[in-house]
Structure 1
């Protein structure tokens, strides 16, 4: 995985400072890591969005702060519940010889084949938590579902990951199930009823 450069500026914590940064097109962030004090930062929202769109969420960054370069990954993000816009970013400084945990998006191939049979795919997970060296973290993990039929299920243990990558999630956790349309409707209704009863 290639390193991508991203410049960051130091920021003063506080709501007023954060609002001013957002008006200038920046998003508040923080950089933390083993053996260091957390550093409040801000990065240009547009540049960060472009990097993620081009290289994926698990891109390895050369985060430049006051002339110093920190190798880091995008560890967490906070979004506004109403607008879905990013409001804060967590960066984790990493070492190239120490493993880190990351959530890797799952890419499902062959869904169209299943749908052509009049069946539906019920997704339970859209990403897989893994542990690997920063340079070994994949941008995505491909899961081929084209050979599945009604009633078939894919579990975490069924997913093949690249060499050097270890799965962190429970091996028996369900990723997806193939169902008939009416079964999907029933499942949805039961879920709605359960939610209503809970309220």
Structure 2
């Protein structure tokens, strides 16, 4: 069930965000096969994995009414990555995660922070979420900087997908205080 409380399409300062569809298969497969893109996301993956990711992400939208957007650079129409909120399990806890992955040419330009801020605002203000988590590997300093700019608090270290990760939390009370 899709909801306008969490838009299916929006533009955030030059990046178009919309619900995943089959038109993204080739671009996502290219991203999944690029070691530079996948270096912090568990390594390269196959075209089948890209198709499965699109299928799972669409199903999440249908079931939850929110999810990850797939991103395009408005300037040239190129695939820019994915970002948004999704239900997940982190360290044995069912929760909602802020997730983002940008193509290398768009990194370090503030896009992840702006898209993350929009997703958090929609999650807390429109969906009424009580908490959102974010997690990354300890060496992913760019992601940690985004998480810090979005005013998450470090919670704890844990293992995810067989690798060390750090879990961060942001509550609705923290959101209201900002």
> What is the TM-score of this pair, normalised by structure 2?
0.25
Q: Which has the higher strand share?
A: 1
Q: Which entry has the higher C-alpha Rg, 1 or 2?
A: 1
Q: Which has the higher helix share?
A: 2
> What is the TM-score of this pair, normalised by structure 1?
0.23
